[in-house]
């Protein structure tokens, strides 16, 4: 089996090999860093989770009176509506998105533009996702569980995938006249 896998790897185009090598190194590095250093001290999870909670509460306050944040819970009119915990903070998707960008050769300017704008878009969509789930929960929607586990995840990952597709297109060189 290992011989078949090695033969398939050898048959890949050079660019695909570079992508896979970079991806494997980044994945291993991130997993070691996260699980051995960051997760035990709850950094950056705690900060991203609080930011998601705070921003979700602020957006809800635009539409509802008496929105209160008592982390990790958000209340509307004294009713516990939504709980935002570490898995909801978007960190995994931020790392996945930026990791993919790092695996594809591009100029520094292009990388930073896509990293900053893409992460901001993913963050904003995650806040809208949390807000929509809170609204659905407040209104006793029967679709809340489905939306949380499937529909909204599909939307967020589709946006990240679209960003990757745009990034992976060749850079257009400025015409020199």
pLDDT digits (tens, 9 = 90+) for 32-73: 999 999 999 999 999 999 999 999 999 999 999 999 999 999
Report whether pLDDT(175) > 60.
no
Phi and psi, residue 41, nearest 5°: -100, 5
User: How many C-beta atoms surround the C-beta of residue 32 within 10 A?
Assistant: 10
pLDDT tens readout for residues 64-104: 999 999 999 999 999 999 999 999 999 999 999 999 999 99
SS3 content of the chain, % helix, strand, coil (to 5): 70, 5, 20
> In this structure, are residues 69 and 54 in contact, taking their beta carbons and an 8 Å threshold?
yes
C-alpha separations of 149 from 17, 88, 128, 133, 159 in Å: 34, 11, 15, 11, 17
C-alpha separations of 166 from 70, 101, 114, 171 in Å: 39, 11, 9, 10
Q: What is the reported pTM?
A: 0.90
């Amino acid at each position: 089996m290992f011989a078949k896998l090695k033969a398939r790897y050898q048959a890949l185009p050079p660019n695909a090999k570079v992508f896979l090598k970079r991806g494997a190194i980044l994945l291993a590095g991130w997993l070691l860093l996260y699980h051995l250093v960051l997760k035990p001290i709850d950094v950056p999870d705690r900060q991203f989770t609080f930011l998601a909670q705070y921003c979700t509460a602020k957006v809800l306050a635009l539409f509802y009176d008496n929105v209160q944040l008592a982390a990790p819970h958000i209340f509307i009119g004294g009713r516990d509506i939504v709980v935002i915990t570490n898995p909801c903070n978007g960190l995994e998707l931020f790392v996945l998105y930026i990791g993919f960008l790092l695996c594809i050769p591009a100029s520094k300017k292009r990388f930073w533009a896509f990293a900053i704008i893409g992460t901001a878009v993913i963050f904003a969509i995650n806040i809208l996702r949390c807000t929509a789930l809170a609204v659905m929960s407040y209104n006793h929607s029967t679709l809340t569980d489905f939306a949380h586990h499937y529909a909204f995840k599909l939307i967020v990952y589709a946006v990240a995938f679209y960003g990757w597709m745009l990034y992976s297109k060749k850079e257009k060189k400025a015409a020199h006249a």
